[in-house]
Chains A and B, each alone.
Chain A
Amino acid sequence: MLILTRKLGESLIIGKDIRVVVLEVRGKQVRIGIDAPEDVVVLREEVHQRLTQENLQASTFRYSDLEEVSKSWSS
Protein backbone atom coordinates (compact mmCIF):
# COMPACT_ATOMS: atom_id res chain seq x y z
CA MET A 1 0.00 0.00 0.00
CA LEU A 2 1.22 3.47 -0.84
CA ILE A 3 1.38 5.57 2.31
CA LEU A 4 1.56 9.38 2.21
CA THR A 5 1.41 12.02 4.92
CA ARG A 6 -0.80 15.06 4.34
CA LYS A 7 -1.61 18.15 6.36
CA LEU A 8 -5.05 19.63 6.88
CA GLY A 9 -6.29 21.12 3.62
CA GLU A 10 -3.76 19.24 1.51
CA SER A 11 -4.82 16.94 -1.30
CA LEU A 12 -3.93 13.90 -3.30
CA ILE A 13 -4.55 13.39 -6.98
CA ILE A 14 -5.44 9.89 -8.15
CA GLY A 15 -5.25 9.37 -11.88
CA LYS A 16 -6.07 12.48 -13.85
CA ASP A 17 -9.41 13.42 -12.40
CA ILE A 18 -9.79 12.26 -8.80
CA ARG A 19 -8.89 14.59 -5.97
CA VAL A 20 -8.94 13.64 -2.30
CA VAL A 21 -8.61 16.40 0.27
CA VAL A 22 -8.22 16.24 4.07
CA LEU A 23 -10.89 18.60 5.40
CA GLU A 24 -10.79 18.10 9.12
CA VAL A 25 -8.97 16.03 11.71
CA ARG A 26 -10.77 15.57 15.00
CA GLY A 27 -9.35 13.02 17.42
CA LYS A 28 -9.58 9.65 15.67
CA GLN A 29 -11.87 10.94 12.93
CA VAL A 30 -10.80 12.39 9.62
CA ARG A 31 -13.18 14.16 7.25
CA ILE A 32 -12.25 13.65 3.65
CA GLY A 33 -13.53 15.44 0.57
CA ILE A 34 -13.52 13.66 -2.79
CA ASP A 35 -13.87 15.15 -6.25
CA ALA A 36 -14.38 12.39 -8.76
CA PRO A 37 -16.07 11.99 -12.15
CA GLU A 38 -19.69 10.87 -12.12
CA ASP A 39 -18.83 7.40 -13.37
CA VAL A 40 -16.58 6.71 -10.40
CA VAL A 41 -18.38 5.07 -7.49
CA VAL A 42 -17.25 6.37 -4.10
CA LEU A 43 -18.55 4.47 -1.08
CA ARG A 44 -17.40 3.78 2.46
CA GLU A 45 -15.74 0.37 2.33
CA GLU A 46 -18.15 -1.30 4.74
CA VAL A 47 -21.13 0.07 2.80
CA HIS A 48 -19.66 -1.23 -0.45
CA GLN A 49 -19.19 -4.65 1.13
CA ARG A 50 -22.73 -4.70 2.45
CA LEU A 51 -24.21 -3.69 -0.91
CA THR A 52 -22.13 -6.27 -2.74
CA GLN A 53 -23.24 -9.01 -0.33
CA GLU A 54 -26.87 -7.93 -0.44
CA ASN A 55 -26.93 -7.81 -4.25
CA LEU A 56 -25.27 -11.21 -4.52
CA GLN A 57 -27.84 -12.68 -2.11
CA ALA A 58 -30.70 -10.95 -3.91
CA SER A 59 -29.66 -12.58 -7.19
CA THR A 60 -30.09 -16.09 -5.75
CA PHE A 61 -33.90 -15.99 -5.45
CA ARG A 62 -35.98 -18.88 -6.75
CA TYR A 63 -38.51 -18.04 -9.38
CA SER A 64 -40.84 -20.65 -7.86
CA ASP A 65 -40.99 -18.58 -4.62
CA LEU A 66 -42.29 -15.46 -6.30
CA GLU A 67 -45.93 -16.42 -6.55
CA GLU A 68 -46.05 -17.22 -2.83
CA VAL A 69 -44.44 -13.88 -2.05
CA SER A 70 -47.00 -12.11 -4.21
CA LYS A 71 -49.94 -13.85 -2.51
CA SER A 72 -48.59 -13.18 1.01
CA TRP A 73 -47.94 -9.58 0.08
CA SER A 74 -51.53 -8.77 -0.80
CA SER A 75 -53.09 -10.68 2.09
Chain B
Amino acid sequence: MVAPLENKTSRASYLTISTRDLGPRQVDEEAVISFPTGLPGFEDYRRFVLLQYPFPTPLVCLQCIDRPEVAFVVTDPVNLVADFKLTPGNSDLPEWRGEDPKDIKVLVILTIPPGCPRDLTANLMAPLVINLRTRRGRQVVVDKGGYSSKHPVLVK
Protein backbone atom coordinates (compact mmCIF):
# COMPACT_ATOMS: atom_id res chain seq x y z
CA MET B 1 0.00 0.00 0.00
CA VAL B 2 1.04 3.54 -0.65
CA ALA B 3 0.99 5.73 2.39
CA PRO B 4 -1.21 8.79 2.13
CA LEU B 5 0.81 11.83 1.28
CA GLU B 6 -1.68 14.32 2.55
CA ASN B 7 -1.19 16.13 5.84
CA LYS B 8 2.53 15.57 5.70
CA THR B 9 3.33 18.55 7.86
CA SER B 10 1.45 20.58 10.37
CA ARG B 11 1.54 23.72 8.27
CA ALA B 12 -2.14 24.13 7.55
CA SER B 13 -2.39 25.64 4.13
CA TYR B 14 -5.02 23.90 2.11
CA LEU B 15 -6.00 24.03 -1.50
CA THR B 16 -9.47 23.14 -2.65
CA ILE B 17 -9.15 21.21 -5.87
CA SER B 18 -11.57 19.64 -8.32
CA THR B 19 -10.91 16.02 -9.18
CA ARG B 20 -11.85 13.75 -12.08
CA ASP B 21 -13.65 11.13 -10.00
CA LEU B 22 -13.50 12.03 -6.33
CA GLY B 23 -15.38 15.33 -6.16
CA PRO B 24 -13.91 18.48 -4.66
CA ARG B 25 -11.08 17.81 -2.24
CA GLN B 26 -9.05 19.79 0.19
CA VAL B 27 -5.37 19.00 -0.02
CA ASP B 28 -2.44 20.28 1.96
CA GLU B 29 -0.32 22.57 -0.20
CA GLU B 30 2.66 20.56 0.95
CA ALA B 31 1.18 17.43 -0.64
CA VAL B 32 1.39 18.91 -4.13
CA ILE B 33 3.90 17.14 -6.36
CA SER B 34 5.31 19.05 -9.26
CA PHE B 35 6.47 17.40 -12.45
CA PRO B 36 8.61 20.21 -13.92
CA THR B 37 8.70 18.57 -17.35
CA GLY B 38 5.16 17.22 -17.24
CA LEU B 39 4.48 13.69 -18.46
CA PRO B 40 4.83 12.71 -22.14
CA GLY B 41 1.47 13.56 -23.71
CA PHE B 42 0.64 15.89 -20.80
CA GLU B 43 3.60 18.24 -20.85
CA ASP B 44 1.57 21.31 -19.93
CA TYR B 45 0.25 19.91 -16.67
CA ARG B 46 2.77 20.12 -13.90
CA ARG B 47 1.02 19.91 -10.54
CA PHE B 48 -0.43 16.68 -9.21
CA VAL B 49 -1.50 15.20 -5.93
CA LEU B 50 -1.86 11.60 -4.74
CA LEU B 51 -5.30 10.73 -3.37
CA GLN B 52 -6.67 7.55 -1.82
CA TYR B 53 -9.72 5.85 -3.31
CA PRO B 54 -12.66 5.30 -0.95
CA PHE B 55 -12.45 1.48 -1.09
CA PRO B 56 -9.78 -1.09 -0.22
CA THR B 57 -7.30 -1.13 -3.08
CA PRO B 58 -3.63 -1.10 -4.02
CA LEU B 59 -4.55 1.63 -6.51
CA VAL B 60 -3.80 5.29 -5.86
CA CYS B 61 -5.14 8.28 -7.75
CA LEU B 62 -2.62 10.68 -9.27
CA GLN B 63 -4.82 13.71 -9.79
CA CYS B 64 -3.74 16.71 -11.85
CA ILE B 65 -4.43 19.99 -10.09
CA ASP B 66 -4.04 22.16 -13.18
CA ARG B 67 -6.69 20.22 -15.08
CA PRO B 68 -9.29 18.26 -13.10
CA GLU B 69 -10.19 15.93 -16.00
CA VAL B 70 -6.65 14.57 -15.99
CA ALA B 71 -5.96 11.75 -13.53
CA PHE B 72 -4.02 8.52 -13.59
CA VAL B 73 -4.32 5.31 -11.64
CA VAL B 74 -0.97 4.42 -10.13
CA THR B 75 0.42 1.80 -7.80
CA ASP B 76 3.65 0.82 -6.10
CA PRO B 77 5.53 -1.46 -8.54
CA VAL B 78 6.36 -3.89 -5.73
CA ASN B 79 2.68 -4.85 -5.91
CA LEU B 80 3.52 -6.21 -9.38
CA VAL B 81 7.18 -7.20 -9.44
CA ALA B 82 8.66 -7.95 -6.04
CA ASP B 83 12.20 -6.97 -7.03
CA PHE B 84 11.42 -4.02 -9.29
CA LYS B 85 14.61 -2.03 -9.83
CA LEU B 86 15.45 1.21 -11.53
CA THR B 87 18.63 1.32 -13.59
CA PRO B 88 21.72 2.89 -12.01
CA GLY B 89 21.42 5.77 -14.47
CA ASN B 90 18.04 6.61 -12.98
CA SER B 91 19.56 7.22 -9.56
CA ASP B 92 21.59 10.01 -11.13
CA LEU B 93 18.39 11.99 -11.71
CA PRO B 94 18.03 15.38 -10.06
CA GLU B 95 15.04 14.00 -8.14
CA TRP B 96 17.16 11.24 -6.71
CA ARG B 97 20.74 12.39 -6.38
CA GLY B 98 22.08 12.44 -2.85
CA GLU B 99 18.70 11.65 -1.35
CA ASP B 100 17.86 9.19 1.34
CA PRO B 101 16.20 6.28 -0.52
CA LYS B 102 13.25 6.49 1.83
CA ASP B 103 12.49 9.97 0.49
CA ILE B 104 12.11 8.54 -3.01
CA LYS B 105 8.79 7.08 -4.02
CA VAL B 106 8.46 5.05 -7.19
CA LEU B 107 5.03 4.51 -8.72
CA VAL B 108 3.85 3.03 -12.00
CA ILE B 109 0.93 4.16 -14.13
CA LEU B 110 -1.78 1.61 -14.89
CA THR B 111 -3.72 1.45 -18.14
CA ILE B 112 -7.21 0.08 -17.54
CA PRO B 113 -9.09 -0.42 -20.82
CA PRO B 114 -12.59 1.05 -20.34
CA GLY B 115 -15.07 -1.80 -19.88
CA CYS B 116 -12.30 -4.46 -19.80
CA PRO B 117 -10.70 -3.74 -16.44
CA ARG B 118 -9.27 -7.25 -16.13
CA ASP B 119 -7.01 -6.51 -19.10
CA LEU B 120 -5.21 -3.80 -17.18
CA THR B 121 -1.50 -3.31 -17.73
CA ALA B 122 1.23 -1.48 -15.87
CA ASN B 123 3.85 0.74 -17.45
CA LEU B 124 6.92 -0.71 -15.78
CA MET B 125 9.14 0.71 -18.51
CA ALA B 126 8.42 4.28 -17.47
CA PRO B 127 7.84 4.61 -13.72
CA LEU B 128 7.26 7.86 -11.89
CA VAL B 129 10.06 8.83 -9.53
CA ILE B 130 8.92 11.25 -6.85
CA ASN B 131 11.14 12.98 -4.33
CA LEU B 132 8.98 13.28 -1.21
CA ARG B 133 11.22 15.91 0.33
CA THR B 134 11.35 18.35 -2.59
CA ARG B 135 7.95 17.16 -3.89
CA ARG B 136 9.28 16.97 -7.41
CA GLY B 137 8.67 14.10 -9.78
CA ARG B 138 9.57 12.84 -13.20
CA GLN B 139 8.56 9.98 -15.47
CA VAL B 140 11.75 8.10 -16.23
CA VAL B 141 12.59 5.35 -18.69
CA VAL B 142 14.12 2.18 -17.30
CA ASP B 143 16.52 1.05 -20.00
CA LYS B 144 17.58 -2.24 -18.54
CA GLY B 145 15.62 -5.06 -16.98
CA GLY B 146 13.36 -5.65 -19.96
CA TYR B 147 10.37 -4.02 -18.30
CA SER B 148 7.35 -3.62 -20.56
CA SER B 149 5.19 -0.54 -20.97
CA LYS B 150 2.26 -2.99 -21.04
CA HIS B 151 3.03 -5.42 -18.25
CA PRO B 152 -0.11 -7.56 -17.67
CA VAL B 153 -1.26 -7.24 -14.08
CA LEU B 154 -3.82 -10.01 -13.64
CA VAL B 155 -2.95 -13.57 -14.52
CA LYS B 156 -5.72 -15.06 -16.64
Contact = CB atoms under 8 A, between A and B. Distances in A.
B73 A66 contact: yes
- How many residues of B sit at the interface, in one of the four size bands? 35 or more
Contacts of A60: 114
Interface of B: 20-21, 36-37, 39-42, 53, 55-59, 70-73, 79, 94, 109-115, 117-118, 120, 123, 125-126, 139, 141, 149-150, 153-154
Contacts of B40: 41, 43, 48, 51-52, 55
A28 interface: no
A39 to B, nearest CB: 5
Interface string A31-52: 0000000111101000110111
A54 B109 contact: yes
Q: Is the interface of A mostly helix, strand, loop or mixed?
A: helix
